[in-house]
Amino acid sequence: IQQLLFRNPNEPPVVFHLFPIIGSTITYGMDPPRFLKENRAKFGDCFTFILLGKKTTVYVGTQGNEFILNGKIRDVCTEEIYTVLTTPVFGKDVVYDCPNSKLMEQKKFMKIALTTEAFRSYVPIISDEVSTYFKKSTDFKGKSGTVNICPKMAQITIFTASHTLQGKEIRDKFDESLADLYHDLDMGFSPINFMLHWAPLPWNNRRDHAQRTVAKIYMDTIKSRRERGAVEANSQDIMYHLMNSTYKNGIKVPDHEIAHMMIALLMAGQHSSSSTSSWIMVRLAARPDIMEELYQEQIKNLGADLPPLAYEDLAKLPLNQAIVKETLRLNAPIHSILRAVKQPMPVPGTKFVIPTSHVLLSAPGISATDPQYFPNPDLWDPHRWEKDAVNAPSLVKDENEEEKIDYGYGMVSKGAASPYLPFGAGRHRCIGEQFANVQLQTIVAMVVREFKFRNVDGSDTVIGTDYASLFSRPLEPANIYWERRDGA
Ligand code: HEM
């Protein structure tokens, strides 16, 4: 009653809760998309709930995506929210531990390294890593077996990302100490650290030790590359580009910043890509018929002898591309994107004004599963992305879609009012989209060449989602039954 009586009519409705600090933290945390959809049905696209004591205003739907993700820099702020988590993990002076204009320059340095020429060199590296992995892994010995696919995909992701983006010296260190150190860094990303990031707890001590050690490994590698003058062999990796980049103010990117950006890049790419590849494998195990279609697509479009995969081949495999697209529609690893409010923000077309005491929450996954745009939205159907499919997405054309804008890291689409935004939009949009596509499509194509998957019980059921960390992923153990293809 109190919540109804004292409601400010100029603020969005508040989700009912019994306890002031806890608010809706538990129901939201258990299944964020479900919580958001249920309350959207009650309140409409814009409403507020209490998350860890903070008034959190959700705005979903295409207009909400635009309002938050394309918010002006004077209105919304990202670093204020995330720096407590990211600075201890990445290190100083990068990403959210610096002014936004510096992040834009850092993103530009990383993005310009990701050229078509670089991708052309990455596909053979990724294919080799995948084949070698399956040859060596004891879990894939013999003709068939059962495996929890998530840790396997996490390893394949980090081996392929480190090798392509950071060079072979760094990749080889993942067979030694780097894997454990990155695991310790990961602990810094648990949601509890939004509150306890500063506390002298065992996992925070391990995080801090890992950050110092990993940064030193990168700085030593940079130094030795300089001394050897042997940069040419690495000219397609991002470290090489950063070693040769200069800020607009004339200052060369310092070594500690390169090291910290290397950590940030691997962490940003790792969780999102490995969650996505795990989901793809889980989906394929539930739909062996589609896995077979993927195999036949390669035979038909690349040749029956399946030659070594090249970058150009990826464009010849539309179903292979659609698998990634459709999985990101239903299982986008980043379900909630937060922003601090810097000045009162009127919500166009309503009487609401979002005050600076609120945090904004964007969830593009809600519009990506809205039947208005995606008929039969809960069905995982990669074929829907074919032009004349019965349930093809009716993506409403965003009037600004064709128009491009440069926030300082290259041209991106001006509009953010698309219902399908797994890579975000606006100033903070992902720079890793193309890399992730190349990496994921290559991994899927290689797995399909080698294996047939199915669910252990032969059913078409799909495991639930684990929302306990910042990036959602399949609940473990996500066991699947694998069988080697004849001759693989
Ligand atoms: C930003 C998704 C892979 C690097 C983002 C954002 C999303 C996203 C939604 C926006 C976050 C925000 O607005 O706060 C994904 C997905 C991926 C993926 C779904 C894979 C399937 C990668 C990879 C890299 C990467 C492989 C690196 C090579 C970044 C960076 C940002 C970003 C640097 C910018 C953060 C900012 O400006 O605040 N990503 N990402 N991502 N991503 Fe990705």
Q: pLDDT per residue over 28-54, tens digit each?
A: 999 999 999 999 999 999 999 999 999
- When mean pLDDT is compared across 250-254, 361-365, 450-454, 466-470, the lowest value belongs to 466-470
pLDDT at 62 over 60: yes
In the prediction, which pLDDT does 19 show? 87
Q: Which residue bears the tokens 């002006």?
A: 72
Euclidean distance between CA atoms 239 and 218, whole angstroms: 9
Q: What is the mean pLDDT of residues 236-253?
A: 93
pLDDT interval class at 487 (50, 70, 90): low
How many angstroms separate the alpha carbon of residue 422 from the centre of ligand 1?
9
- Would the ipTM clear 0.85, i.e. be above it? yes
Which atom of ligand 1 sits closest to the CA of residue 270?
26
How many angstroms separate the alpha carbon of residue 455 from the centre of ligand 1?
31
Question: How would you write 126-181 as a 3-class SS string?
Answer: HHHHHHHHHHHCHHHCCCEEEEEHHHHHHHHHHHHHHHHHHCHHHHHHCCCCHHHH
In the prediction, which pLDDT does 21 show? 87
Which residue out of 272, 367, 421 has the highest number of ligand 1 atoms within 8 Å of its CB and is therefore the one to mutate? 272
| 148 burial via Cβ count (<10 Å: 0-12, 13-18, 19+) | middle
Alpha carbon distances (Å) from 474 to 117, 140, 269, 457: 34, 20, 17, 17
In the prediction, which pLDDT does 415 show? 81
In the prediction, which pLDDT does 1 show? 55
Q: What is the mean pLDDT of residues 301-321?
A: 97
Ligand 1: residues with CB < 6 A are 78, 103, 107, 265, 268-269, 272-273, 276, 328, 332-334, 337, 422-424, 428, 430-432, 435-436
In the prediction, which pLDDT does 399 show? 52
Q: Are 246 and 202 in contact (CB under 8 A)?
A: no
Which atom of ligand 1 sits closest to the CA of residue 107?
33
**57: nearest Cα among 364, 362, 417:** 362
Residue % of the chain over a pLDDT of 90: 80
**Residue 87, CB half-sphere, CA atoms under 13 Å: how many?**
14
**Backbone region of residue 463 per phi and psi (left: phi > 0; alpha: psi in -120 to 50; beta: other values):** beta
Q: What is the mean pLDDT of residues 65-88?
A: 96
Which residue out of 189, 430, 470 has the highest number of ligand 1 atoms within 8 Å of its CB and is therefore the one to mutate? 430
**407: nearest Cα among 116, 115, 111:** 111
Buried/exposed code over 196-225 (b: 16+ C-beta within 10 A; e: otherwise): ebeeeeebbebbbebbeebbebbbebbeeb
Residues 6+ apart with CB under 8 A from 254: 93
Length of the chain: 488
Alpha carbon distances (Å) from 394 to 320, 364, 390, 420, 439: 21, 16, 11, 11, 28
Point out which residues pair with 451 in neighbouring strands: 484
Euclidean distance between CA atoms 215 and 87, whole angstroms: 13
- When mean pLDDT is compared across 231-235, 305-309, 423-427, the lowest value belongs to 231-235
Pairing state between β 451-455 and 479-484: antiparallel
In the prediction, which pLDDT does 345 show? 98
Point out which residues pair with 46 in neighbouring strands: 59
**338: nearest Cα among 92, 96, 103, 106:** 96
Say what the pTM is. Answer: 0.95
**Backbone region of residue 44 per phi and psi (left: phi > 0; alpha: psi in -120 to 50; beta: other values):** left
CA 351 to chain centre: 34
In the prediction, which pLDDT does 289 show? 98
Q: pLDDT per residue over 126-162, tens digit each?
A: 999 999 999 999 999 999 999 999 999 999 999 999 9
Which atom of ligand 1 sits closest to the CA of residue 439?
26
Q: What is the mean pLDDT of residues 474-480?
A: 97
Euclidean distance between CA atoms 216 and 255, whole angstroms: 10
Alpha carbon distances (Å) from 187 to 82, 140, 190: 15, 29, 6
In the prediction, which pLDDT does 253 show? 97
pLDDT interval class at 395 (50, 70, 90): confident
Euclidean distance between CA atoms 66 and 57, whole angstroms: 14
Euclidean distance between CA atoms 156 and 160, whole angstroms: 6
Buried/exposed code over 290-313 (b: 16+ C-beta within 10 A; e: otherwise): bbebbbebbeeebeeeeeebebeb
Report the nearest-CA residue for atom 29 of ligand 1. 430
Residue with more model confidence, 12 or 399: 12
Sign (positive or negative) of CA dihedral 314, 318, 322, 323: negative
Which atom of ligand 1 sits closest to the CA of residue 332?
19
pLDDT at 252 over 80: yes
Q: pLDDT per residue over 187-243, tens digit each?
A: 888 888 888 888 888 889 999 999 999 999 999 999 988 888 765 666 778 998 999
Euclidean distance between CA atoms 464 and 157, whole angstroms: 22
Q: Of 4-18, 75-89, 229-243, 412-426, which one has max mean pLDDT?
A: 75-89
Residue with more model confidence, 20 or 444: 444
